[in-house]
Amino acid sequence: MSTQDKPKKKKVKVTRNENGHPVEVEIEVDDVDGPSWGPRAGHTLVNHDVPRVDGPVKVSGRAPYPHDIRLPGMLHARVLCARIPAGSVRLDLESARKTPGVEVVLDLEVKEIRWLGQPVAAVAATTPEKAADGLRALAAQFQAAGFAVTPEQALAPNAPQVTRRGNKGKESENGDAEAVKAALAAAAGTARAEYSLPVQHHASLETHGVVVDYSGGDEARIYASTQSTFGISEDAAEPLGLKASQIETISEYMGGGFGAKFGLGIEGLIACRLAKLAKRPVHLLLTRKDEFLAAGNRSGSRVVMEGGIAADGKLTALRAEIERHGGIGGGSHARQPYVYSVEKVHTKSYPVHTNTDGSRAMRAPGHPQASFAIESLIDELCYAANLDLLEVRKKNLANPTYARQLERVAREIGWYEHPHRTQPGRMDQRECIGIGFGVSTWGGGGGESCEVDVRIERDGSVTSSVGTQDLGTGTRTYVASIVAEEFGLGMDGVTARIGSSRLGNANASGGSTTVASLAPAVKNAAWKARMKFAEHLAPLLGTQKELLRFEKGELVDQQSGKRIPFAKACAMLPNEGLQARGTWVADLAGNGIQGAQAAKVRVDPLTGRVEVLKMVCVQNCGLPINRLTLRSQIFGGMVQALSYALLEERIMEPSLGLQINPNFEDYKLAGSLEIGEIVAIIDDEDTREQAIGVSEATIVPGHSAIANAVANACGARVRHLPLTPDKVLAALGKV
């Protein structure tokens, strides 16, 4: 049955006692042949604010992260990363082997260094300090070759070749160039500009790495900071010389991923090789500097865009040439026009390779880059045609959801009282206040991959088990809450067990697919367990299974009205208790979400300083599984976007070929002083009774809205983020 309808009902006859006499009456009960989320008004935990069950162990420091693991006889490993972007290296392996405390030296036999930070060797020693001594004893002699660490260097005439296929990768082209040319000529207003975004780092609090517990034999255990519990066991099988089934991966807690922690990675492969050589456990988590150089990033971009707009605000033409700056990788950039409808479009897109670490997925890969270019251009077109920034957006968004969401954020941010709706403010005003907008889209759908086991014991304890990882997004909590609601229990009535490849299968956490894949499987397992429980109890209680309800910690017989405490009902189970396994149910999951954001800023025209006063997001996602966590995801996305807008960028020194800010002191991140008021609004007008992932979409348009707000405040159009004071002053013509 469709989850968007209320559960069907059927009538059954029951016998009740009225004034001491048996009376046969007819009552309505749910007529279902499978699990359903049911109407929202009936939820007790789902679609409510549920505190995270792992909150206490995290804030008290008792949660065991991979960095915290200490095992008997464990060695500590360090990786030697290339200190040049291109060339070769010679190592003194014997000196390193003779260093006190060093047990294993591993030469990765790198014939050619192709990127700054490329791992070339590793050592394992009895302490982290002795491992660092071993790295120094390698006395690495790097022989530099020609390199290109910036896109400008890579595209310069006679530039050193980064890849054997050249520095400019394969070009893809879409649309009709001649049709766009004609549409631009006929447009009432046009704008042309170049927009760029820098490389952004994931900046996870816990660096990449694993602890490999292997001492020889035919079994191993790996403690991993990962987004894919089951992927680690598969990746580690070959370097350990084992089968994946012989390796247990543990990921109970991990310190952030944002898309960079799929698979074992080169650091994990090194740890496995070291453990196999030493026949001892090995702890290898990257240093912060190595994390910046060798653990991936969000690709940068440069886009030259030209657009046309009609007098009525309709977008008529768009031409875009897109460079993707993904290092030795291909980079990512969503197709233009992003979300908006434009009549005639022509785009070219290609990667520009540099001798730097390859980009990896990062929260909505490719979408923030596309958002910045199109949202900036739309504002510039509106100013050229003297049109309202909000109304033009609504006119060019095909999905009516966006018009409603934009109206909501506009009212919340104070747009209709704002004086600069068709033209930016002036820098000579006493207070330069501006407002900007942006929209986002994402899939967030799920798939058939999760296996959840719900078990009920005779003592009344209930466990919900699955091998999934929790990236800090609240997965562990709804693995318990969905089951607790099914049985009418509180959150303390169900224990969630996650984070082990010995438990039921689960998908990797990426693309916001976890909740849409896992929540339906949890619901299915809970429903199956409830039906199995009711089927066992009904004959013991002399009633029908359809007449048994679980609510408020009790079992209720709708025929007799008798109420039995849940724990007492569990005592009627056989000695082995009861267990049910659930898998994905397509009707319980959905796909496709929309969001709109607005930002209000204050710009100081004397210093160029930008202060974000307020950000507002309206976001839909079908049925919110946990409203508290959903708002947290929206907050986190907006803060990450704010940091991207104002501060974050990888800075390369082109003449030396070095990154000059590979640490948390020089790589700037937003803190409490940079974060203004943040308003997260759940779009409850989205009535889909389906679970859909939301995390990626919340980061997409925030930096675009902030940049547009700066231009709206005082006319300072900064087309190359971040919005540092020098760039704002340059845009104002003051430097």
Mean pLDDT of all residues in 116-133: 98
- CA 471 remoteness from chain centre: 9
pLDDT of 635-689, one tens digit each? 999 999 999 999 999 999 999 999 999 999 999 999 999 999 999 999 999 999 9
pLDDT-derived band at 10, boundaries 50, 70, 90: low
Reply yes or no on whether the pLDDT at 9 is more than 90: no
pLDDT of 501-532, one tens digit each? 999 999 999 999 999 999 999 999 999 999 99
Mean pLDDT of all residues in 106-135: 98
pLDDT-derived band at 18, boundaries 50, 70, 90: very low
Residue for token pair 């039921």: 504
Phi, psi of 688 (to 5 degrees): -65, 125
Type and span of the H or E element at 520: helix 514-541
**Burial class, 43, CB count within 10 angstroms (exposed 0-12 / middle 13-18 / buried 19+):** middle
pLDDT-derived band at 33, boundaries 50, 70, 90: confident
Mean pLDDT of all residues in 97-105: 98
Reply yes or no on whether the pLDDT at 599 is more than 70: yes
Tell me the pLDDT of the chain averaged across its residues: 95
Mean pLDDT of all residues in 196-212: 98
pLDDT-derived band at 14, boundaries 50, 70, 90: very low
Mean pLDDT of all residues in 458-476: 98
> Which DSSP symbol is given to 546?
G
Phi, psi of 71 (to 5 degrees): -125, 155
Give the gyration radius of the chain's Cα atoms. Answer: 29
Bridge-based pairing of strands 75-81 and 282-285 is parallel
Mean pLDDT of all residues in 714-727: 98
pLDDT-derived band at 4, boundaries 50, 70, 90: very low
Q: How far apart are CA 729 and CA 725, in angstroms?
A: 6
Phi, psi of 712 (to 5 degrees): -65, -30
CA torsion, ordered 650, 364, 677, 622, to nearest 10 deg = -170
pLDDT of 309-333, one tens digit each? 999 999 999 999 999 999 999 999 9
| E-strand stretches of 548-643 | 548-551, 554-557, 563-565, 578-582, 593-603, 610-619
pLDDT of 562-580, one tens digit each? 999 999 999 999 999 999 9
The DSSP bridge partners found for residue 144 are 87
CB 350 within 8 A of CB 166: no
pLDDT for the residue 13:
53
Mean pLDDT of all residues in 408-422: 98
% residues pLDDT > 70 (the chain) = 96
pLDDT for the residue 23:
56
Record the tokens describing residue 566, joined without a space: 């849940």
CA count, 13 A, side-chain hemisphere, 422 = 7
Full-prediction pTM beyond 0.85? yes
Domains observed in the chain: 9-62+447-587 (3.30.365.10), 66-145+208-285 (3.30.365.10), 361-444+590-731 (3.30.365.10)
Reply yes or no on whether the pLDDT at 21 is more than 50: no
Q: How far apart are CA 592 and CA 428, in angstroms?
A: 44
pLDDT for the residue 429:
82
Mean pLDDT of all residues in 98-106: 98
Q: Per mean pLDDT, which range of 28-32, 216-220, 252-256, 394-398 is the poorest?
A: 28-32
pLDDT for the residue 2:
39
Alpha carbon separation from 194 to 307, 324, 371, 710 (Å, rounded): 12, 14, 14, 17
Record the tokens describing residue 592, joined without a space: 């496709």
pLDDT of 254-299, one tens digit each? 999 999 999 999 999 999 999 999 999 999 999 999 999 999 999 9
Reply yes or no on whether the pLDDT at 394 is more than 60: yes
CB 39 within 8 A of CB 19: no
Q: How far apart are CA 23 and CA 560, in angstroms?
A: 11
CB 466 within 8 A of CB 483: no
> Which DSSP symbol is given to 357?
P
Reply yes or no on whether the pLDDT at 414 is more than 50: yes
Record the tokens describing residue 541, joined without a space: 């209680």
Q: How far apart are CA 212 and CA 222, in angstroms?
A: 5
Q: How far apart are CA 11 and CA 31, in angstroms?
A: 9
